[in-house]
Structure 1
């Protein structure tokens, strides 16, 4: 295949992948100086109006949802020959299929990852979308300042395109496809995706052998319809002994043959998985029920890689994830199954700056906070964020119950961290702007000076989850770094609660 020099304004660098319905190219955006993935409808289908419309439907849907757990679409256009294309974020970290080809993941990492995948699928379900084709090839990774982000790709595009084209095609990848998807007259609802999540979970924890055919993804490494290794074989090999029996029970229910015997949607599956890995002797997890799934840092639904003393009701107490060197940090070791946690940047015990408790205060390295009455603190380092010396940068969580804060939306609390690496990359305004809350209403950004720090403060009110979330950032005196605070104020805290809390943050 001859590589085009340009697609629209984008300079083409190389072919990423090709499939039955689309070709994916790696392009360069000259205005933003960044790489993008450009998916172009295959030439032999662009005259079919039904296929063309389904191709554009996916781009429109992803653009409308605009969620960081889904592949984001930046733009769309047409080639000179009339073929449509969509410009997407490039998943530079590859796919889960590639990662599994390198061998099994540690069980804690596998469970963290499964929770992240379920959170992305939950975004679709809350918008009435059924993916229909959850496979390792459609789970992608994108690197960023806070570590790797899991992305859900394709939205069953190849299946809908096949149906629109009149081809006879199964509505999912064998091994991950729910039994009812074999019946062209069956109603397919979110429980089909729950089945796919369960099968992914069994694959991740080593309960099934891999083999078969795959569907492609927005990495382009194997486009829709291209052979791969996503399907799960029919022979069970049994979960590893590190897998708690409660987790095994969740996965078995998710993969029940009858849809009525499964969890109703990805939110319910996610909550059940969180409860299954909660430490038996730890604090009780948040009450079950429909809750927002994890989202971006500072959103009411983001994951928290809190570890050690600061871990919420999560896998860390029973299935602690080790650092495993630089490669482990690059992968998803910084993620945790703090299922309904707020901060996608956590606080951890050990390995970081020395933590110290004094009367009414908590110190992590050069960072000291004054605790509101009745609050406690935990943590001594910013999980996944390392300073120039290779050590964790200082951070902490404070709340009436810091271990439960991330998992319990009824608890007020705050995460506070100090980062020299963030300060080298961006300022307070830019850092706060990186933490949007798409599902919440934003108040005008304000500035306040507290204890010698000029803070940029953004407040969000939300209908679901936590009623109020505040994002704040400022430069520490002496340019020691950027101070970041994410606050969920108490209902009776008063209008000045956030400013009083910020006034109690010191760097010295």
Structure 2
């Protein structure tokens, strides 16, 4: 085996793998398409550059990438098949081959044809990427370098359930996989202080230098940044931009708590109201007032957990036997509105409150509306439905009031 001045490997084989074309060259490694001669299968071999193989810190970080990937169990994170070392002591990783290229290349090609992202495109990518990050985070890892070049597309002949057939970005016969965890930070290790890394434009502010604790919310910043780049020029609901902006907050504490919460808000922002149920088998409706899906930074950290646990019924799953009260000694919330509404008729519901400064409406559509004095709904089906408001009193006690109504023909 011989190497050039840039450390790129130029031998025909490494171990049992016959190297093919170079498909990527980075600061530390060269990536080859290769043939596993034993299994007669196409793989990717990532070889640490020879000049870096003598650096113990870089060498260990490279090997740690393979170990980290082995911890993650997700169809949307690239699989590690093997870890080895060449005859010249260059560590290498054998990875799953993604034959459809990178997200960067796909978006570039589509934009040359005049494409802009649709809701279907966003969902076709948001769901697998959120699933990938959830798996990475469950393995106590932070990716730290989520960018379009590290998102790959590969053929999936089984076509996953839940794929979005109308999407041009990720096709029904494709699977999204996240690669390159070389910068990942193991949360189980010591302090979590940052080191330099990440990709410009997709690197969260806490990674720009200086001592700063890095946790999973760094990946959520990169995730929102990636989608902010993806939807450039697209005519999509304002609520989507609100959802993305939340995890682009400079302070990690103002971001979504995890990838699942991020995805939930993105899906709610893009869901057509007429296709979203009220959670009780009743009618669905359309919110025609202002602020649907709005993301108010003042109330979300306080009320998101309440909305998930109370507004969606999770409180009972956790053992809650009674609803939060509508009033305490210092505060009160009450909804005024009709008890009966006709299909297609607009109905207004108004909050009467005392001693609270912030609240969130939970609508029959599943949407959340922040700090609006009233909301207007247009039901599209008959049955029983409800609208709720969640808040807290001055002592932090949870408040909830619900107005139930009947929708008739």
TM-score (norm 1): 0.46
Equivalent of residue 238 in structure 2, options 245, 249, 253: 245
State the Cα distance separating 1:133 from its structure 2 match: 1.2
| 2:198 is the counterpart of 1:175 | no
Q: Residue deviations 1:295-349, cap 9 Å, x none?
A: xxxxxxxxxxxxxxxxxxxxxxxxxxxxxxxxxxxxxxxxxxxxxxxxxxxxxxx
Contact 1:159 1:170 in 2 (8 A): no
CA change 1:154–1:281 in 2 (3 A) is same
| 2:129 is the counterpart of 1:117 | yes
Task: Compare CA radii of gyration and give the structure with the larger one.
Answer: 2
Equivalent of residue 103 in structure 2, options 93, 96, 115: 96
| 2:223 is the counterpart of 1:197 | yes
Q: Residue deviations 1:119-167, cap 9 Å, x none?
A: 211111122111111110010011121221101111253999xxxxxxx
Contact 1:111 1:201 in 2 (8 A): no
**Residue 97 of structure 1 aligns to a residue in which SS?**
helix
State the Cα distance separating 1:41 from its structure 2 match: 0.9
Looking at structure 2, the residues matched to 50 and 195 of structure 1 have their Cα atoms a distance apart, in angstroms, of 27
Equivalent of residue 134 in structure 1, options 118, 143, 146: 146
Gaps of 5+ in 2: 160-172, 187-193, 281-409
Equivalent of residue 270 in structure 1, options 247, 263, 274: 263
The runs of at least 4 aligned residues of structure 1 exceeding 6 Å deviation read: none
CA change 1:169–1:60 in 2 (3 A) is closer
Contact 1:159 1:171 in 2 (8 A): no
Which piece of structure 1 moves more, 103-112 or 10-19?
Answer: 103-112
Looking at structure 1, the residues matched to 76 and 91 of structure 2 have their Cα atoms a distance apart, in angstroms, of 24
State the Cα distance separating 1:248 from its structure 2 match: 1.5
Contact 1:178 1:192 in 2 (8 A): yes
Residue 155 of structure 2: aligned partner: 143
Contact 1:195 1:255 in 2 (8 A): yes
CA change 1:130–1:119 in 2 (3 A) is same
| 2:55 is the counterpart of 1:48 | yes
Equivalent runs, 1:387-466 vs 2, <5 Å: none
Q: Residue deviations 1:168-213, cap 9 Å, x none?
A: 974322211111111331101111111111111111111xxxxxxx
Aligned length: 248
CA change 1:285–1:151 in 2 (3 A) is farther
Q: Residue deviations 1:261-305, cap 9 Å, x none?
A: 110121211121122222212233779xxxxxxxxxxxxxxxxxx
| 2:11 is the counterpart of 1:4 | yes
Q: Residue deviations 1:381-427, cap 9 Å, x none?
A: xxxxxxxxxxxxxxxxxxxxxxxxxxxxxxxxxxxxxxxxxxxxxxx
| 2:117 is the counterpart of 1:106 | yes
CA change 1:117–1:14 in 2 (3 A) is same
**Residue 149 of structure 1 aligns to a residue in which SS?**
strand
Residue 188 of structure 1: aligned partner: 214
Residue 321 of structure 1: aligned partner: none
CA change 1:35–1:261 in 2 (3 A) is same
Looking at structure 2, the residues matched to 134 and 204 of structure 1 have their Cα atoms a distance apart, in angstroms, of 13
**Residue 157 of structure 1 aligns to a residue in which SS?**
coil
Q: Residue deviations 1:212-253, cap 9 Å, x none?
A: xxxxxxxxxxxxxxxxxxxxxxxxxxx522x11221110111
Looking at structure 1, the residues matched to 22 and 76 of structure 2 have their Cα atoms a distance apart, in angstroms, of 24
Equivalent runs, 1:338-357 vs 2, <5 Å: none
Looking at structure 1, the residues matched to 270 and 122 of structure 2 have their Cα atoms a distance apart, in angstroms, of 12
Looking at structure 2, the residues matched to 170 and 123 of structure 1 have their Cα atoms a distance apart, in angstroms, of 24
State the Cα distance separating 1:64 from its structure 2 match: 2.7
**Residue 281 of structure 1 aligns to a residue in which SS?**
helix
Structure 1 vs Structure 2 CA RMSD: 2.4
Residue 358 of structure 1: aligned partner: none
Contact 1:40 1:85 in 2 (8 A): yes
Gaps of 5+ in 1: 161-167, 207-238, 288-508
CA change 1:251–1:129 in 2 (3 A) is same
